[in-house]
Structure 1
Amino acid sequence: MQIKESTQEYDAIIVGSGAGGGMATKILSEAGLNIAVIEAGPFFDPANPEQRTQLKWPWESPRRGAGTTRAFGDFDAAYGGWEIEGEPYTHKNGTKFDWFRSRMLGGRTNHWGRISLRFGPLDFKRKSVDGLGDDWPISYEDVKPYYDKVDKLIGIFGTKENIPNEPDGFFLPPPKPRLHELYYIKGARKANVPVIPARLSILTKRINEERGVCFYCGQCSRSCSVYADFSSGSCLIFPAQKSGGQITLYNNSMVREVVVNDSGKATGVIFINKEDRKEYQLNAKVIVLAASACSTARILLNSKSKVHKDGLGNSSGLVGKYLHDSTGAGRMVFIPELMNRKTYNEDGVGGMHVYTPWWGNDKKLDFPRGYHIEIWGGMGMPAYGFGFNPNDFNKFIGKNVGGYGNQLRDDVKRFYGSVLGVAGRGESVPMESNYCEIDPNVVDEWGIPVLRFNYHWSDYERNQAKHMHETFEEILGNVGELIGEKPGKDSDYGLEAPGRIIHEVGTTRMGDNPKTSVTNKYQQLHDVDNVFIVDAGPFVSQADKNPTWTILALSWRTCDYIVEQLKKQNI
């Protein structure tokens, strides 16, 4: 039996503590608002000795680092994964959509790749270019001031390149390319494919007294104990608390629905406390949803009332529709020249030092949207299942590799650091037929109806993946021996399943017309003026860039608007 406890009043309730929720917490609290932040997972601070996994050896894990409790291994800073016990989701029509959730303060920002790319002018107006989907109701110029603010507040390394659709920002010095990246640069230039320094939100230079500088341990996926990389908790929420913000954290709290009054205006939220399994309600003047694109859609669809019979903000019937994720495909190459390398520390930052931005905006291709290329390799510390497959090397050297004991150990040393990998990350075309909805027959362990997914790649994405592999073959063929066979049509040219890249966006798309969108250009629900969405749900399209920097910029923009509207007593 659940008991609804007494309510409490706040100026704003923020659901979710990732990129969008963390930025909202900082901006709204520093404007003087009394804030409640509701997070579905526990409190997390990478500097806490009891939670810190940075600089621990793989053998310090009971499972030698295997991913039995976390999707990317015991030491990865992601409490969750694509599957969470007691929190299922379902599929229909043969869908293979994988939904990643990170249940912890800061959410996915604790373990992401820190690839921090601005959307460019074309990315906000793709329909005007290729006739597909819709243009955003805002332009790059509307978001640019907030990109600038995010650069300066959080810190990002890179270089000014003057590439039209890859906007430059305010950059810290980038790290130098490592040896495997120099080989990639060599191969890419032979193929006439551009390579520039990566743009990651990792501090290579001190920007304030609260955060340290990267010391090149290469373990950003564990979240940084000196706060040198960007995570929402360490870079937004903790500083907001230290500056005196009125912030109350509700951890391990699973939001079920937004509550409305008789006129349909939002008054608060109801959540289940995971520790005592009781139901609670908090009230506020403003509700800010930042639970992730799919989780926010789930909350809205479960928030049914007499006024909002199909769910909150869903008069258009589009909540959950136009779901899309980045495309993904990858390849590896063996570089014989890198066998028997001298062992030395070249860890660098926890990610790539160089990357390839999309170079085909002016080319005539059989797919409409582009992709960038990410690079990995080198001599970082081996982790559990680090990928040494003897069969990959037998054909290259004419003898069996691996085995047991000394032979295996010697061969690992001979070949370690000789593999270079690339991954394409591309833009898919938003389609109304790709969506998430409420499953009428399944609830999670908290009694909340779960999401059901319907999602299929189109020929646009398949042709893009085909082009990725053609590019990979040319670049990598210039530097070594390709590993494995190039995937063909029968495997969608190696396309990862939707959701695997963890860039899902678009479920509460923004627009000027309430009949064809869920929020306005300030990410405010058309139907309810005191509810705002600051995760990636309002994205009209994805671009070939990672979404985090745009989530942060738009959240800041929305929060400035909220403060302005509260002062005018419009909400």
Structure 2
Amino acid sequence: MAFEIKKQAKLYDVCIVGSGAGGGMTAKILSEAGLKVALLEAGPKYDPADPEQATQLKWPYESPRRGASTTRPFGDFDAAYGGWEIDGEPYTTKNGTAFDWFRSRMLGGRTNHWGRISLRFGERDFKHKSYDGLGDDWPISYQDVSPYYDKVDKLIGVFGSKENLPNEPDGFFLPPPKPRLHELMVKRAGEKMGLPVIPARLSILTRSVNKDRSPCFYCSQCSRGCTVYGDFSSSSVLIKPAMKSGHVDLYTGAMVREVLTDDSGKATGVAYVDKSDMQEYSVNARVVVLAASACESARLLLNSKSAKHPNGLANSSGVVGKYLHDSTGASRGGFVPALMDRKRYNEDGVGGMHVYIPWWADNKKLDFARGYHIELGGGMHMPSYGFGFGLENMNGKYPGRDGKPKAAGGYGASLKDDYRRYYGAYIGFAGRGECIAREDNYCEIDPNVVDKYGIPVLRFHYTWSDHEIKQAKHMQDTFEQLIVEMGGIPSGTKAGADTMYGLENPGRIIHEVGTTRMGDNPATSVLNKFNQSHEVKNLFVVDGGAFVSQADKNPTWTILALAWRASDYIVDQLKKQNL
């Protein structure tokens, strides 16, 4: 060790690394069971109701940069401490491939600034290999996870509607908000095309679920963190009540270096660097739970080498870091003349879409495997600095009041008139699809690079396959057809093969999973069906790393359900003295 480790005297039942969806849920369930928990977070405390941290209900002009480059990845007021690039915390790529790795350094992690799209995986999503022969089946089924999806729905709250669609499981839903005007137009266009346009499923309260949280008041600013806890964030909904139990000690600014083990190879705790003094400390526990995100947890395991674990902890299979995959993403926007010259009224609604399009097609009739859902945006949300008409790529022209093309630009009363005319007349579509998990997409330890804490960093190798590229082409064709069906004009030039049809860089959708995947065979997986390491029985991983495959859904609801399931298993195994 390059550092002297200062040991904490206290012995915990469980040490949890990471406070996002998986870590927060695990802390809540285990603390309620009476276990003594140490919860470690690399970033600071965060509470969106704290006046010193709150950014909700601020005007665009209150930004100290007044529209210049933001210090946060999604805007000055967004509840995101971190980003794809963090000073002093590099990562690298291999063989010219690309991967953008988002790290969230704050209590609650990424759950503070996600879209709250809360979708269950369906029966087919757990058994894709049985349907199309690609990838691997999960060692569990929808029936195994369904009771925990139910619990998550009831604890956290999610709005939606029962639709009885294949592979889109219904849940326990709060009433959904009414569609906005542009969403009604999308619904009409979608119906003509045979697409299901249904109420979105977001973990935002349209009515109360408990006394500690108030319903959404429709300011449309969920990404800023909710001062009344009307939306789901781990920091507000899971960790806050867990702390009230008196059974959780929170360590913030704790950059975990490795999992510590004894001579038998059993986990005994973790070593971390305290950011406040740059000294190294340890936390000791009977059980270690990693929930630092799929790649960060893989990094910890790979850096945790010992005589018993020369290839990294829980990695005798060599699978840790492999089968990394992120959701696909592509987008397109357009101008809809029918939405011009609208009366001003408040249609903010929740901080996200009120309707969405789940996957509808039969992949057996297509030239690619796996599907995608469509998210949409538009409407008369709060303008910000840089607000335009969404027409920048339409040859610099747009319809004037006389019906003839008019050059963009101008000043004074004419410019203000244009802004008012075109405000709310832009629509945008984004596809979020499933990538097939492959062994040759992976992260590993870079042998030559360390971060500012002296911890070896990750090196990524990632490529898209023809399945993902063809899926993106299908997205672009669908987006364009939707815009035209709405009577709109697609913006710019349709993305083609030269850009892989507008596919975002892998990692850019921030849905990466699979690096410590579960399975029944220890030779081809890291965890068993309860998120427990095959070879280190008192080690668990409860973030997206456990996923065998992603779906055409966002992963958060499944992370939450599996973390609750694993927590129940930990309580049971501790009672039986099996850990």
TM over 0.5: yes
| Cα contact 1:18–1:105 (8 A) shared by 2 | yes
Deviation at 1:405, TM superposition (A): 4.4
- Whole-angstrom distance in 1 between the partners of 2:246 and 2:196: 45
- Whole-angstrom distance in 2 between the partners of 1:387 and 1:83: 28
- Counterpart residue number, 2:80: 78
- Counterpart residue number, 2:402: none
3-state SS, counterpart of residue 537 of structure 1: helix
Deviation at 1:403, TM superposition (A): 3.4
| Cα contact 1:16–1:38 (8 A) shared by 2 | yes
Aligned counterpart in structure 2 of residue 400 of structure 1, from 386, 404, 407: 407
- Counterpart residue number, 1:487: 495
- Whole-angstrom distance in 2 between the partners of 1:213 and 1:239: 18
- Whole-angstrom distance in 2 between the partners of 1:488 and 1:81: 29
Aligned counterpart in structure 1 of residue 429 of structure 2, from 410, 422, 427: 422
Q: CA-to-partner distance for each residue in 1:369-418, whole Å, 9 max, x for gaps?
A: 00000010001101343454553454442111223444433322221100
> Cα distance 1:388–1:211, how it changes in 2: closer, same or farther (>3 A)?
same
TM-score normalised to the size of structure 1?
Answer: 0.98
1:100-115 aligned within 5 A: 100-115=102-117
- Counterpart residue number, 1:542: 550
- Counterpart residue number, 1:455: 462
| Cα contact 2:23–2:291 (8 A) shared by 1 | yes
3-state SS, counterpart of residue 159 of structure 1: coil
**Equivalent residue letter for 2:558:** T
Q: CA-to-partner distance for each residue in 1:59-105, whole Å, 9 max, x for gaps?
A: 11211355531101111001011111110100111112100111000
- Counterpart residue number, 2:90: 88
> Cα distance 1:303–1:516, how it changes in 2: closer, same or farther (>3 A)?
same
Aligned counterpart in structure 2 of residue 499 of structure 1, from 503, 507, 511: 507
> Cα distance 1:37–1:55, how it changes in 2: closer, same or farther (>3 A)?
same
- Counterpart residue number, 2:310: 309
Structure 2 residue 227 is matched with structure 1 residue 220: no
- Whole-angstrom distance in 2 between the partners of 1:212 and 1:392: 42
- Whole-angstrom distance in 1 between the partners of 2:23 and 2:509: 21
1:129-528 aligned within 5 A: 129-242=131-244, 244-361=245-362, 363-386=364-387, 388=389, 391-392=392-393, 394-397=396-399, 398-479=405-486, 480-528=488-536
**Equivalent residue letter for 1:434:** N
Structure 2 residue 567 is matched with structure 1 residue 559: yes
| Cα contact 2:391–2:491 (8 A) shared by 1 | no
Q: Which deviates more from structure 2 when the two are superposed, residues 334-343 or residues 40-49?
A: 334-343
Provide the identity percentage: 70
| Cα contact 1:24–1:555 (8 A) shared by 2 | yes
> Cα distance 1:328–1:33, how it changes in 2: closer, same or farther (>3 A)?
same
- Whole-angstrom distance in 2 between the partners of 1:205 and 1:449: 46
3-state SS, counterpart of residue 568 of structure 2: helix
- Whole-angstrom distance in 1 between the partners of 2:551 and 2:391: 38
3-state SS, counterpart of residue 38 of structure 2: strand
Deviation at 1:4, TM superposition (A): 2.2
Structure 2 residue ranges without an equivalent (≥5): 400-404
| Cα contact 2:30–2:37 (8 A) shared by 1 | yes
- Whole-angstrom distance in 1 between the partners of 2:67 and 2:370: 38
- Whole-angstrom distance in 1 between the partners of 2:276 and 2:266: 30
3-state SS, counterpart of residue 412 of structure 1: helix
> Cα distance 1:405–1:193, how it changes in 2: closer, same or farther (>3 A)?
same
**Equivalent residue letter for 2:171:** G
Structure 2 residue 35 is matched with structure 1 residue 29: no
> Cα distance 1:389–1:116, how it changes in 2: closer, same or farther (>3 A)?
closer
Deviation at 1:259, TM superposition (A): 0.3
Q: CA-to-partner distance for each residue in 1:237-260, whole Å, 9 max, x for gaps?
A: 111222x24111100110000000
| Cα contact 1:401–1:411 (8 A) shared by 2 | no
1:52-67 aligned within 5 A: 52-64=54-66, 66-67=68-69
3-state SS, counterpart of residue 5 of structure 2: coil
- Whole-angstrom distance in 1 between the partners of 2:518 and 2:447: 27
- Whole-angstrom distance in 2 between the partners of 1:380 and 1:65: 17
3-state SS, counterpart of residue 5 of structure 1: strand
3-state SS, counterpart of residue 269 of structure 1: strand
3-state SS, counterpart of residue 399 of structure 1: strand
> Cα distance 1:66–1:146, how it changes in 2: closer, same or farther (>3 A)?
farther
| Cα contact 1:16–1:292 (8 A) shared by 2 | yes
TM-score normalised to the size of structure 2?
Answer: 0.97
- Whole-angstrom distance in 1 between the partners of 2:139 and 2:391: 53
3-state SS, counterpart of residue 239 of structure 2: helix
3-state SS, counterpart of residue 417 of structure 2: helix
- Whole-angstrom distance in 1 between the partners of 2:237 and 2:571: 21
**Equivalent residue letter for 1:76:** D
Deviation at 1:190, TM superposition (A): 1.3
> Cα distance 1:224–1:315, how it changes in 2: closer, same or farther (>3 A)?
same
Deviation at 1:31, TM superposition (A): 0.5
Count of aligned pairs between the two proteins = 570
| Cα contact 1:12–1:288 (8 A) shared by 2 | yes
| Cα contact 2:111–2:232 (8 A) shared by 1 | yes
3-state SS, counterpart of residue 391 of structure 1: coil
Q: CA-to-partner distance for each residue in 1:122-151, whole Å, 9 max, x for gaps?
A: 000000000000000000000000000000
Q: Which deviates more from structure 2 when the two are superposed, residues 357-366 or residues 453-462?
A: 357-366
Q: CA-to-partner distance for each residue in 1:504-553, whole Å, 9 max, x for gaps?
A: 00000100000000000001011100000000001000000000000000
| Cα contact 2:398–2:408 (8 A) shared by 1 | no
Q: Which deviates more from structure 2 when the two are superposed, residues 550-559 or residues 53-62?
A: 53-62
Deviation at 1:6, TM superposition (A): 2.6
> Cα distance 1:137–1:164, how it changes in 2: closer, same or farther (>3 A)?
same
- Whole-angstrom distance in 2 between the partners of 1:470 and 1:115: 24
- Whole-angstrom distance in 2 between the partners of 1:272 and 1:386: 43
| Cα contact 1:98–1:499 (8 A) shared by 2 | yes
Q: Which deviates more from structure 2 when the two are superposed, residues 220-229 or residues 353-362?
A: 353-362
Q: CA-to-partner distance for each residue in 1:188-245, whole Å, 9 max, x for gaps?
A: 1111111110000000001110001000000000110100000001000111222x24
Q: CA-to-partner distance for each residue in 1:340-381, whole Å, 9 max, x for gaps?
A: 221111000000000001011365110010000001000110
| Cα contact 1:390–1:400 (8 A) shared by 2 | no
| Cα contact 1:66–1:74 (8 A) shared by 2 | no
**Equivalent residue letter for 2:576:** K
3-state SS, counterpart of residue 430 of structure 2: strand
User: What's the RMSD between the two structures over aligned residues?
Assistant: 1.2
Structure 1 residue ranges without an equivalent (≥5): none
- Whole-angstrom distance in 1 between the partners of 2:269 and 2:122: 36
3-state SS, counterpart of residue 324 of structure 2: coil
**Equivalent residue letter for 2:323:** Y
Q: CA-to-partner distance for each residue in 1:15-49, whole Å, 9 max, x for gaps?
A: 00000000000000000100000000000000000
3-state SS, counterpart of residue 385 of structure 1: coil
- Whole-angstrom distance in 2 between the partners of 1:303 and 1:233: 28
